[in-house]
Chains A and B, each alone.
Chain A
């Protein structure tokens, strides 16, 4: 624990007695020992050495939580003032580590198993079987390719959102009304939206959108019949939900722009388009990139509207990785294969996003 970078300096005159520090250490080590003993006892029962009457692993969970609390309290006992500072970050850190690192490690273990959750036999070691199956699974690769298309659709969403943000930042009346109205799609539950729009408004026979399309001269408005059209419809629907999100980020960026620069451009005789192209757009580049990247991150989680409207169809055209794994689990309750697919997806995402951000930062600052 170093104190470099502290913005608040506290000169404390407390001296931590030997007994207090020892108490703290005993607390941490003692609770850890209890945790260890519980885990061992439960593991022995799980392996069939003896029967202690545990019905589930909840005792381990309780001792684990107790250990975490003792760890936090112990910090204050041992380190005093510094411990109180650690206490700001430690609970959340323990929370996140417990709920991501442990499941991720477990996930890696499960990924190499053949484990049908609904069968009583439990996990079987599958070795590289799952990986071989993944490599030859056309539907999974299809879902991954779909994700690329879905992510490219973000650029169109960005253009629309930027346009709306520009309109909202113009001199208009009833600005609050428009802002609330534009924000509403984001508030609605995607599952409800998938019924409201996907299943009823786009309904082939009497949905209002289908009727509008007929009135405009489109003979056969079947939005989910052909693979290409279904994919586009899905993108539009997802865009409808999430455009407000990008719009607000961009609006905040627009409102923080230095007005002097824009006025200077106008004084120099730039037209509206020139002002936008040469001044506003370049200044907005950092905010734009943040908005696009955050939106891509959300897009990569796209699942609920796909699951509820098309469940991936027709022929996997609208499938996302998440909805595919969801169906894979629902149909076969095979945890092992689904987890391997998910972990591979995570690897692809992490590598892809890292490369994207590297590339972008190099492009933004080529000489540093």
Chain B
């Protein structure tokens, strides 16, 4: 046996070592950041199953460090042994949950409807309202993003009081739609601009009207963009706290307001808080995992083009 004829040269070996270190660094940083992102969620889930001593001693891993119990979920009326029984806390929680769902879905839907129409109009036709041309109209819509909620909050409080819209679903839906509309217009205009106009021209030649072409030809193509805008609006409206805390009092309290009001009270136990927080964020974790593609699509509108 002779020694191998072909051998890696010194410089090649160095290159390979460098490649491995760079891999290690990249994955190290990625995993570290993933832990930073996921650990708080893990902590919340596990805390909802802890009893007082487990919390104090800072136990981390269920079954190894401590024996999980249904404490947090029992106080919400959502543990296996209480799920059948009557529970005021659970009813309260479910009513907050329904309020949030109603408001978030309606506001996002309305915003996507108005925003898609506007985005389409602005991407296809030349308007002139007074001295405002297309670019001014687009700027008008998108610049609403700058408006901080606090500027509108107190005038809305006064207006809603006079209009008897305080503590109603409609009141919240209107203001949430207003809050997300700029983002929806931004995404949808971007989306429609990427669709070639030849499609409508063909449809118009075949006898459809402007609205017919829009509804039957363009909307199906723009659907991914609409889903992206809808999901992004849903995230923003589901989590909104500021307006909800000012404009609701009893009947239409949303989940964030409920969570915040619990944090203020001193007597509340950690496991209950953890269970409430986790139940409040769970729907959006699911949305995030399943519809990640659309969220990313929505947020990357306008950049990179």
Contacts and interface: CB of A to CB of B under 8 A. Distances in A.
Interface of A: 1-8, 10, 55-58, 61, 81, 84-89, 91-93, 95-96, 99-100, 102-104, 106-107, 110, 115, 117, 163-164, 167-168, 170, 172, 176-197, 199-201, 205-208, 211, 240, 245, 248-257, 287, 290-291, 294, 297, 300-301, 303-304, 307-308, 321-322, 325-326, 329, 335, 338-339, 342-343, 345-346, 349-350, 353
Given A61-B163, A100-B147, A200 B274 contact: yes
Given A191-B256, A253-B303, A308-B260, A110 B154 contact: yes
Contact of A92 (B43, B44, B118, B157): B118
Given A178-B30, A184-B37, 9 more contacts: A8-B201, A88-B120, A89-B118, A89-B121, A181-B33, A188-B41, A253-B304, A325-B150, A325-B153
Interface of B: 26-27, 29-30, 33-34, 36-41, 43-44, 47, 55-58, 60, 114-115, 117-118, 120-129, 133-134, 137, 140-141, 144-159, 161-164, 174-175, 177-178, 181, 185, 197, 200-201, 204, 209-211, 214, 235, 238-239, 241-242, 245-246, 255-257, 259-260, 262-263, 270, 273-274, 277-278, 280-281, 284-285, 287-289, 292, 295-296, 299-300, 302-305
A107 B260 contact: no
A239 to B, nearest CB: 11
7 contacts: A8-B197, A85-B125, A92-B115, A93-B118, A107-B154, A187-B281, A201-B43
Contacts of A103: 152, 155-156, 159
A345 B128 contact: no
Contacts of B278: 192
Contact of A189 (B117, B214, B281, B295): B281
A92 B181 contact: yes
Contacts of A206: 55-58
B144 to A, nearest CB: 6
Nearest to A115: B158
B300 A251 contact: yes
Given A96-B181, A187-B235, A326-B150, A4 B126 contact: yes
Contacts of A85: 121, 125, 127, 210
Closest 8 CB pairs of A and B: A5-B126, A88-B121, A252-B300, A256-B304, A189-B239, A103-B155, A187-B288, A107-B155
Nearest to B242: A303
A1 B127 contact: yes
Residue of B27, B30, B47 with highest tally of chain A CB at under 10 A: B30
B58 A189 contact: no
A249 B30 contact: no
A85 to B, nearest CB: 5
B56 to A, nearest CB: 5
Highest count of chain A CB atoms <10 Å: which of B122, B129, B134, B263:
B263
A91 B111 CA distance: 11
Contact of A183 (B175, B260, B288): B288
Given A184-B288, A248-B299, A211 B58 contact: yes
A252 B303 contact: yes
A279 B222 CA distance: 34
Secondary structure at the A interface, as helix, strand, loop or mixed, is helix
A200 B255 CA distance: 19
A49 B112 CA distance: 44
Contacts of B200: 8
Nearest to B263: A195
A346 B263 contact: no
Classify the secondary structure of B's interface with A.
helix
Nearest to A81: B210
Contacts of A179: 292, 296
B62 to A, nearest CB: 14
A3 B210 CA distance: 15
A309 B45 CA distance: 20
Contact of A100 (B34, B128, B144): B144
B293 to A, nearest CB: 9
A88 B118 contact: yes
Contacts of B118: 88-89, 92-93
B241 A190 contact: yes
A93 B132 CA distance: 12
A56 B295 CA distance: 41
Contacts of A93: 118, 129, 137, 140
B137 A196 contact: no
A87 B126 CA distance: 13
A308 B38 CA distance: 22
A326 B79 CA distance: 37
Contacts of B121: 85, 88-89
A310 to B, nearest CB: 11
A42 B300 CA distance: 48
Nearest to B305: A256
Contact of B304 (A7, A61, A211, A287): A287
Contacts of A308: 241, 260, 263
Contacts of A10: 204, 210
Given A107-B155, A291-B303, A100 B57 contact: no
Contacts of B150: 301, 303, 321-322, 325-326, 342, 345
